[in-house]
Amino acid sequence: MGRPPGTSDGGGESARERILETAMRLFYSEGLRATGIDRIIAESKVAKMSFYRHFPSKSDLVCAFLEERHRRWMAWFDESVARHGQGNRLKLAAVADALAEWFAEPGFRGCAFINTSAELAGHRPREHAIVLSHKKELQERLAALARADGLDGPEKAGQLALLIVDGAIVRAQMSDGVRSAQDARHLLEALAASRCAAPCGRSKP
């Protein structure tokens, strides 16, 4: 997940980029509440006045973190699923392989959006809206993959796939690691194999 484009006129990172890069690292690895503004200012090596010029409040910084995390994570997801999809008959199965790759990373600490929702407990409408938007877009991606697998009812399949994906992420963060991706693969394969919606299994009246 590369860093955002754009640098200062001097060729180095701008103050805003340094602040955001530092916040992204600390917010993801240590959590929102555990990471204070003073530490971000110190580690990004900017003046306090410069920090507040770019981010008037911690909430503004958290929203910028979530928006940038969304951009980077979705770009990684699309690339990884496409790469793993080359060796998979089922597109949904490639999702689990992408998750296994992510779970194996040393810095893996779960889903930044699930973590944010848990930490803020729905008390921050702006942040919560970004979390919901991220999950909605991911569900739409999964529905498109279900459609590519020829699955009937892709929207419902996208919802089910999102439940499987989010469940695997939480399990991986808690203890199971890559094993949870393997279990998710079995479930996603079974979902992709159920090409007929439930009503077609019923006899006609």
Per-residue pLDDT, 153: 86
Look at residue 2 in the predicted model and tell me its pLDDT: 41
Model pLDDT, residue 109 = 96
Distance CA(81)–CA(144), nearest Å, equals 12
Q: Answer for the pair 120, 128: CB distance below 8 angstroms, yes or no.
A: yes
Residues of the chain with pLDDT under 70: 1-12, 122, 195-205
pLDDT of residue 154: 86
Rounded to two decimals, the pTM is 0.86
Say what percent of the chain tops pLDDT 70. Answer: 88
In this structure, which long-range contacts are made by residues 17-22, counting pairs with CB atoms below 8 Å and at least 24 apart in sequence? Answer: 18/44, 18/45, 18/46, 19/44, 19/46, 19/51, 19/54, 19/55, 19/61, 20/61, 20/64, 20/65, 20/68
pLDDT of residue 122: 65
Domains and CATH numbers, the chain: 12-56 (1.10.10.60), 58-195 (1.10.357.10)
Q: What is the pLDDT of residue 201?
A: 39
Taking only the tens place, the pLDDT of each residue in 26-81 is: 999 999 999 999 999 999 999 999 999 999 999 999 999 999 999 999 999 999 99
